[in-house]
Amino acid sequence: MTERPDPVAIARRIVQRRDQLGLSEWMLAYRANMAPAYLRQLLQAGPELDPEAFVRIASALGTTWPELLSGHRPDAPPGQSDAAPHPLLLHLSEPQCWDLIGTHGVGRIGLPVGPAPLVLPVNYTVDARTIVYRTAPRGAAAPAEGSPASFQVDHIDDRRSQGWSVLILGEAHHIDDPDEQRRLSALPGTTPWAGGARPLWVRIRPGEVSGRRIGTG
């Protein structure tokens, strides 16, 4: 049996999305090609009144009708669920941090680029308690030799409202030795997800490693 859409929940999502975009009721109605009075009627009566009109509303809001219907999207950023009851914030030891980072994955590199720090996702590999990644020599993720850098990786469990985060502060160094580059290229996680020519190898040597885990009591 198909569950009937909840018109109250759908109307709430439409209003929330409209407010996020900074649209007035009149502007949303204009984008959806309908009168404001009819828009209000739709929000009160629900999608069974005019399903095609709700598809137009979703398009005007830059989203899809299934997303408005369910309140979920497959590519939504993590952490949209409510906090768990009785949450606990636990500090992790350095060995625990390295264990969570694993051998390779995707994290975020932070570099001191003016006028504000730049944070970019990179796929990384771990080599002798250092972080290694590849990038383009003049790319946004290419640090100057010896510049300060931060590296952060995390995991979020939306269903349980739990997760962990590891932060590494250190220095970025270029790896220029061809033999070392060949050795590193055999490790998992060193092929850039972004593709293209990315011959610059970067190693982050940690000066400080810290981590936190959010659990429940």
**How distant, in Å, are the alpha carbons of 31, 59, 148, 187 from that of 62?**
11, 5, 39, 41
Write down the pTM of the prediction: 0.69
Name residue, tokens 């990179």: 122
Reduced to 3 states (helix: H, G, I; strand: E, B; else coil), residue 55 is: helix
Q: What is the rounded CA–CA span in Å between residue 143 and residue 173? A: 8
Residues whose CB is less than 8 angstroms from the CB of residue 85 and which lie 6 or more positions away in sequence, other chains included: 216
Would you kindly state where each structural domain of the chain is located, as residue ranges?
Answer: 7-70, 87-216
Residues whose CB is less than 8 angstroms from the CB of residue 150 and which lie 6 or more positions away in sequence, other chains included: 109, 110, 167, 168, 169, 170
pLDDT tens for the 217 residues of the chain, in order: 455 678 888 888 899 889 988 999 999 999 999 999 999 888 887 777 788 888 999 999 988 888 888 777 666 666 666 666 777 889 999 999 999 999 999 999 999 987 888 999 999 999 999 999 999 998 999 999 999 999 999 998 877 788 999 999 999 999 999 999 999 999 998 998 888 889 999 999 999 999 999 887 6
Q: What is the rounded CA–CA span in Å between residue 172 and residue 203? A: 6
pLDDT digits (tens, 9 = 90+) for 8-27: 888 888 998 899 889 999 99
E strands, 4-103, are 87-92
Terminal CA-CA length for the chain: 38
CATH of domain 87-216: 2.30.110.10
Q: Is 189 left (phi over 0), alpha (psi -120 to 50) or beta?
A: left
Read off the amino acid at residue 8.
Answer: V
Cis peptide before 115 (omega within 30 of 0): yes
Q: Considering only CA atoms, which of 113, 181, 178 is closest in space to residue 148? A: 113
* Cβ(68)–Cβ(7) below 8 Å: no
Q: Please name the fold of domain 7-70.
A: 434 Repressor (Amino-terminal Domain) (1.10.260)
The DSSP string of 144-188 is PTT-EEEEEEEEEETTTTEEEEEEEEEEEEEE--HHHHHHHHTST
* Cβ(137)–Cβ(200) below 8 Å: yes
